[in-house]
Amino acid sequence: MLRVREIMYYPAALTEEEIEASFTNDDDFEYLILTSPTDKAIVLKGIRFTDGIPFTVEDETPLAPGRHAVIVRNAEAFAHRYGSPLRVLGTYSQALSNGGERLAVVGAFDEPILEFSYRDDCQEATNGDGSALLLTNLNAPDTAENWQVTAPFQIAPAPNRPRLSIHQESETAFILILGAQSTSTYQLETSSDLDQWTIDRQMTTTEQATATTTVTVGIEETQFYRVRLITQ
């Protein structure tokens, strides 16, 4: 399940410092943050917006469980104003409507994934005052009461609890995808009975807060995995 966690559709006016840095358009500071609120990684490649902004995801790296990625109007403007370490999936050309509109997303095979509408009267602080709409409960419907606002000029903090998902690659090979704190090292441990655990390997997350590794498990074998934070 893919959700839009945060949407900056009506950015604040340019500051003097931003004008001096050669930015010229308020809309360049727009963004949408996508998230995977379940325990499964999401393959993003081919996902596209059919209503709202014209954008198709070309990034082949899955979105790890509990992690976020952002679509921006202008990558330089986004980094300059918000300084966020979020993984940037790409940029879009057509600005979001300041008055509200419907957004719809489909998968690589045109299967519906999500759709919702936002309005400029949903939260007053999002009308050019520097705050974004924030979905407070990712497992609840996209109703008006479930949308709150971020602090001005700030991305809402992402959760740091690591999540580990498993995807079968072949009969005995499995890909482990770790979503956790960026540029941190975790210890992967394995057990066959949830009683005795042994160290298998280390996994270090990238700046995009993900790490992947492949493990082999016998056809008749049961194996459990967990991670522990070593350094951050």
Calpha distance 211→165 (Å, rounded): 11
Q: Which two tokens stand for residue 42?
A: 């999401």
Confidence of residue 180 (pLDDT cuts 50, 70, 90): low
- CA neighbours closer than 13 Å in the CB half-sphere of residue 62: 22
CB-based burial label for 16 (10 Å; 0-12, 13-18, 19+): exposed
Calpha distance 18→11 (Å, rounded): 13
**What average pLDDT does the structure give for the chain?**
86
pLDDT digit string, tens, across residues 69-93: 999 999 999 999 998 778 899 999 9
pLDDT digit string, tens, across residues 33-72: 998 887 778 899 999 999 999 999 999 888 888 788 999 9
Calpha distance 24→3 (Å, rounded): 31
Considering the entire predicted model, what is its pTM? 0.69
Q: What is the three-class DSSP state of 200?
A: strand
